[in-house]
Structure 1
Amino acid sequence: MQEDDFSLCVLDNARKAARAVSRHYDRLARQVGMTAGQFSVLVAIRQVRERTTADLADRLSMDRTTLVRNVALLERDGLVVSALAGDGKAKRYSVTDRGEALLQEALPLWRKAQKDVEEHLGTDEFLKTINALQRLSQL
């Protein structure tokens, strides 16, 4: 009987890496009073202006419930506003001036986190990792 080598489990290794990377980005994002997840949502709203909840959830590969919870916190803090879409059913989101100011404060921290990861892996491995993660996200 062949023994399985669970040290090569993609799921286990991907989750461990995701948790470690999330902790690193969270430590930096906390300096401006948000989580890395909230930062990602805020950036996505800024990038895909006036998109619906479904569009954002798809863009972030996030379930709608988690997205709505994150957006509610951003709205509560005055960083995002929502409005009903033309059909009156879906919501559309946009970043407020306060949200834009916070993003400007957070971007240098995000850049530092990116640089930290790149230095940890080396530039070639960093780019290969990004490519592999993008391909895996299409699985």
Structure 2
Amino acid sequence: MHTTGAMEEDDFSLCVLDNARKAARAVSRHYDRLARQAGLTAGQFSVLVAVRQPRQATTGELADRLSMERTTLVRNLALLERKGLVISARSGEGRGKHYLLSEEGARLLADAVPLWRQAQRDVMGHLGADEFTKTINVLKRLSKL
């Protein structure tokens, strides 16, 4: 069915979903390569950064902050806890848990931050400073879709 005003021909090379996924995979691979030097994945780094926030966050709050499925986050937190990087405790209300970085987790995160900065510089070098800023702003807008 063809509607008035629609493109004469569908150009799937302009598909936002397809291009966003390809870009996300490429960026994830790049950040993962650098994070591995600290013994982490890029996803684990993101979780540690979120846990590091001054306010002790619950699983639900962390999932929202990271835009991550709760079950995926719980698996990541359990692994980080087994590695001794994260400490969990029951929330004051008795429902759910909140999380803190262990001393080892804080040290590892401090070692990983320069690698993250390098990944950021690499992306900025690839895009240029203006396009980097525009891309971050576009990604933030898309995340609210």
Q: Which residue of 2 aligns with 1:82?
A: 88
CA distance in 1, matches of 2:34, 2:120: 11
Deviation beyond 2 Å, 4+ runs, structure 1: none
Of all paired residues, the percent bearing the same amino acid is: 72
- TM-superposed CA distance for 1:87, in Å, is 1.8
- TM-superposed CA distance for 1:48, in Å, is 5.1
CA distance in 2, matches of 1:48, 1:6: 44
- TM-score, with structure 2 as normaliser: 0.93
CA distance in 1, matches of 2:75, 2:35: 18
1:1-139 residue pairs with structure 2 within 5 A? 2-47=8-53, 49-139=55-145
- TM-superposed CA distance for 1:47, in Å, is 1.7
- TM-superposed CA distance for 1:32, in Å, is 1.0
RMSD: 0.9
1:49, 1:94 within 8 Å by CA — same for their partners in 2?
no
Deviation sequence 1:30-82 (CA, Å, 0-9, x none): 01111000000000010253110000000000010000001011101100000
- TM-superposed CA distance for 1:28, in Å, is 0.4
Equivalent residue letter for 1:97: E
CA distance in 2, matches of 1:47, 1:86: 18
Matched residue SS, 2:87: strand
* Structure 2 residues without counterparts, runs of 5 or longer: 3-7
